[in-house]
Chains A and B, each alone.
Chain A
């Protein structure tokens, strides 16, 4: 382990060679390579955290550059995590960085979290925060939380040594909260909160100072006021792998699927499009006026044929391929895409659509 690089922190009594070894052995996953993530990453890399994972499927846009300060103007369009990895390795070539160009979801979270010691939430939406919370519960990992609203930020550490969790603090999941894209933010605000998060990670690894476990730090950039609120664990929040899978498979299916009958009710709406992702030679033929056929394996190449504002009801033969199609569509910003449960077989059973079509 090269100690010359880390000399200035090794000479701190709170760190020392032992501390540097702890840093070198630590594995930290940063979920999100946006405003928070890019503030956390350089400081963890600089301090010598031995392995850092960063997961995000986003590409750099020019509107990111006022706050996501590690990216270059010349890199617009490139993958955030790949650029972030390159930056971190140029800063510190002696550490390992895993760039994961995926979106965190209930299918990859658990396997991913198992490979790290500490999970940093650098996300921009509540759904993913609850997912991170639950996956941390299942895999027994501490969760360093950060979030921003305009000029205010929140920081905490959840699930540390069986401590309170995100759900103990905010039990109500049915909330619509705006993120930076909707309400706006200054780079400094995400920067400061991201650094508070990096601070918690380093304290945790080194075993120094006091962690924000069971404490919510709320910081106001405009008046520099800082408040801490204590909260305790609510017993009903433990989750195991079975409960996790039940919860997330039904949530994702519920939002991703629609019944054939319900979809057909909207078939005359001008913004609705029925997308058949079967091959051209499959039966029964479903002819709906606002309909289009693009076989699943061609879908990614034919997205230009689709209006991203349209409501897309996607179907295949029985409803399996269409779920995959909806995933592809959602990954390409077609947010109003749903899979018709039961597919063409279910549609064909509903005589009403054939009657409507003849009107």
Chain B
């Protein structure tokens, strides 16, 4: 089970704060491709955290069971 959490403008696009997926052992980059396609996230830039730690290089990480993925866009309001 993988949990994905959405924030800011991304949560608006996905119309939810998060969801769960029942697979694991999938490359992170594949999950991101699927989400970008499904929710039209291409124009949004965001950082990715796994289990509350920002991951700089998302290209080689393989998701494990119980991982929590967070999509964090920068906010600008003030």
Partner-B contacts on A (CB < 8 A): 32, 34-37, 121-126, 129, 146-150, 152-154, 169-170, 172, 174-180, 183, 185, 190, 216, 218, 227-232, 234
A227 CA to B75 CA, complexed, in Å: 15
Q: Indicate whether B9 reaches chain A with its CB closer than 8 angstroms.
A: yes
Partner of A229, one of B44, B70, B76: B70
Q: Indicate whether B45 reaches chain A with its CB closer than 8 angstroms.
A: yes
Stretch at the interface among B21-29, B31-39, B48-56, B59-67: B48-56
Known: A170-B47, A177-B9, A218-B7. Is A147-B76 also a contact (CB below 8 A)? yes
Q: Indicate whether B72 reaches chain A with its CB closer than 8 angstroms.
A: yes
A231 CA to B8 CA, complexed, in Å: 19
Return chain B residues, CB-CB under 8 Å to A148. 75, 77-78
Return chain B residues, CB-CB under 8 Å to A146. 78
> Is the pair A149, B8 in contact by a Cβ cutoff of 8 Å?
yes
Partner of B76, one of A125, A228, A231: A125
Return chain B residues, CB-CB under 8 Å to A174. 45
Nearest CB of chain B from residue A133's CB, rounded to whole Å: 11
Return chain A residues, CB-CB under 8 Å to B44. 175
Nearest CB of chain A from residue B53's CB, rounded to whole Å: 5
> Is the pair B75, A154 in contact by a Cβ cutoff of 8 Å?
yes
Partner of B78, one of A175, A180, A218: A180
> Is the pair A35, B47 in contact by a Cβ cutoff of 8 Å?
no
Known: A152-B8, A178-B9. Is A229-B54 also a contact (CB below 8 A)? yes
Partner of A169, one of B7, B11, B43, B54: B54
Known: A152-B75, A179-B77, A180-B78. Is A172-B7 also a contact (CB below 8 A)? no
> Is the pair A36, B73 in contact by a Cβ cutoff of 8 Å?
no
Return chain A residues, CB-CB under 8 Å to B56. 232, 234
Nearest CB of chain A from residue B28's CB, rounded to whole Å: 16
Nearest CB of chain B from residue A236's CB, rounded to whole Å: 10
A126 CA to B77 CA, complexed, in Å: 9
> Is the pair A126, B52 in contact by a Cβ cutoff of 8 Å?
no
Partner of B73, one of A177, A179, A180, A229: A177
Closest B residue to A180 using CB positions: B77
Nearest CB of chain B from residue A72's CB, rounded to whole Å: 21
Return chain A residues, CB-CB under 8 Å to B7. 149, 152, 218
For the complex of A and B, the 10 pairs showing the least CB-CB separation, nearest first, are: A231-B54, A147-B75, A148-B77, A149-B75, A180-B77, A175-B45, A177-B76, A36-B78, A149-B8, A124-B78
Nearest CB of chain A from residue B25's CB, rounded to whole Å: 24
**Most chain A beta-carbon contacts within 10 A, residue among B56, B73, B78:** B78
Beyond A129-B76, A147-B77, A174-B45, 11 additional pairs, beta carbon < 8 A: A32-B78, A124-B78, A126-B74, A126-B76, A152-B75, A153-B75, A178-B77, A190-B77, A230-B54, A231-B47, A234-B56
Nearest CB of chain A from residue B63's CB, rounded to whole Å: 17
Nearest CB of chain B from residue A104's CB, rounded to whole Å: 13
Closest A residue to B68 using CB positions: A227
> Is the pair B78, A123 in contact by a Cβ cutoff of 8 Å?
yes
Return chain B residues, CB-CB under 8 Å to A218. 7, 72
Return chain B residues, CB-CB under 8 Å to A152. 7-8, 11, 75
Return chain B residues, CB-CB under 8 Å to A231. 47, 49, 53-54
> Is the pair A35, B8 in contact by a Cβ cutoff of 8 Å?
no
Known: A149-B9, A172-B45, A174-B45. Is A179-B52 also a contact (CB below 8 A)? no
**Cross-chain pairs A/B with CB under 8 angstroms, 16 sampled:** A121-B78, A148-B75, A149-B8, A149-B75, A150-B77, A153-B75, A174-B45, A175-B44, A175-B45, A177-B76, A180-B78, A185-B77, A218-B72, A229-B52, A229-B53, A231-B47
Partner of A124, one of B5, B8, B47, B77: B77
Nearest CB of chain A from residue B74's CB, rounded to whole Å: 5
Nearest CB of chain B from residue A119's CB, rounded to whole Å: 14
Return chain B residues, CB-CB under 8 Å to A185. 77
Return chain B residues, CB-CB under 8 Å to A150. 8, 77
Return chain A residues, CB-CB under 8 Å to B54. 169, 216, 229-232
